[in-house]
Amino acid sequence: MTPGLYLTHKPVGATSFATVRTFQEEAQATRPGRRTALCHGGTLDPFAEGLLLMLVGPATHLFEHLHAAPKVYEARVEWGTETDTGDLHGRPIHQGDATALTPERLEAALRPFLGWTEQIPPATSAKKLGGEPAYRKAHRGEAVELPPSRVYLHTARWLSHNLPTASVLELTCRGGYYVRSLARDLGRALGCGAHLSTLKRTAIGPWKDPGPGARIELHGRDLLPWTHSRALTDQDVGALRQNQSIAATPLQPPDWRLPPGYPEPPGPVRGFHQGKLTFLLTPGDGALWPETELRGGV
């Protein structure tokens, strides 16, 4: 298993950590007795499926820079019942009448949620509360009250309706957004209650879900392609390893453009040496400073 970013498909029912465990076992088989750093690039709930990013070796340093990338989901919203988890496996806590719903009302209901808003995560989310994931407290029956988070919803559109039963929604959001919370809040705004019965992550940035059983490995310029880059000479690498700055130019533009109007991520400048991503660089005072070295390159 070589260092890099892997696009994988998480099936319904599995945890995100199960995929991490599979990669750990494969890495152990290919490099017996040697530890390989790896992590996933953002949790998917067990009831959800779709694209899960796996970061292997020095690529784990990219983790925090994936948060701001646009993520695309397709979700089925069930009308008439709110559950305590926001999904089909939760306990019903409110039931209402959905017979008055129309496509026009649902279209209007989406608008207040677009852009930057405050959102309360589900009690069964992975958000930390007192140093422990909220879902562990919730599963023990403890009361969980999470503070609202600042989140961003770029676009949302209804793909189809089967009213008054359910509707299918496609949305593009920033990392940290909870689609379960959106369904809950839509149900409350409409007075009928709602929860998710399915959720699929179809894309993160330019990367698409490879589908069940498939895996795609990415390196070099395919990593963080929405950020600027700079080619590094041997002298540049030497200076950066001495914690010295290098000239900010010549910068190359991103290899992939964000959706129009999407907030520009405060990402690093990618430094490439001999075709590999070897440094994450921070602009400052008209120069580029070393943020992280990806030893051996990716």
Q: How far apart are CA 107 and CA 100, in angstroms?
A: 14
| Encoded tokens for 133 | 């994931």
Q: How far apart are CA 156 and CA 76, in angstroms?
A: 13
Pair 70, 174: CB distance under 8 Å = yes
Report which of 173, 199, 181, 179 is spatially closest to residue 49, judged by C-alpha positions: 199
Q: How far apart are CA 45 and CA 280, in angstroms?
A: 30
| Encoded tokens for 33 | 């007795």
> Which residues, 6 or more positions from 264, have their beta carbon under 8 angstroms from its beta carbon?
258
Amino acid identity, residue 270? R
Active site annotation includes 45: yes
Q: Which residues are catalytic?
A: 45
